[in-house]
Amino acid sequence: MRGSASVFLLAAALVTPNASAEPLQTSEDIVEFFANAADLGVSRGICVGTEDECNNGNDAPAQTGLDMLINFDLDSADLTSNAQTTLDEFAKALKDNRLQAHSFIVEGHTDASGADSYNDELSQKRARSVTAYLLSAGVEISRLKPVGMGETHPRADDPYDPVNRRVEMKINLQ
């Protein structure tokens, strides 16, 4: 097995109440992002969101991967309608021939609200919720592996920040 070459697909962020039901990124945008890379193992970054969301933490290194902006409410593994719209586009991209050879790890995350054991289970439920939705959209089960990370890898410095309630998807390149 080659080194752990993977491209992170960060799935998280707060969606404003006035957010459009239209996907921020189309399936073709997603496919082109990865298909145009000469080597999918090379880090490429793109942020989908407002300028403030993309520039959050000016001193932070640039994100690698594609931010799909999948969010969860407190104490919930239910997908919002915006998340479902975004995942519909992601599922279309995964079914494209140019990305058919890749499998994904679906990592669920929580903020620090609640006990560690509870957050571990909630993060697993979030990963399974995204996985189930992608399966219902026609993505093959063999390409998805849901795992719960609990609160161990917060995205924001504040462990209680809602942005930490997310799912991240990694494309495994083997």
With H, G, I as helix, E, B as strand and everything else as coil, classify residue 171: strand
Q: What is the mean pLDDT of residues 46-75?
A: 59
The kind and range of the H/E element at 104 are strand 103-108
pTM of the model: 0.71
What does the H/E/C string look like for 23-63? CCCCHHHHHHHHHCCCCCCCCCEECCCCHHHHCCCCCCCCC
Residue 13: band (very low, low, confident or very high) from pLDDT cuts 50, 70, 90: very low
Q: Which residue has the tokens 């919720």?
A: 129
CB atoms within 10 A of CB 139: 20
pLDDT at 130: 95
C-alpha–C-alpha distance, residues 77 and 125, integer Å = 6
Which pLDDT band, with edges at 50, 70 and 90, does 98 fall under? confident
Q: What is the mean pLDDT of the chain?
A: 75
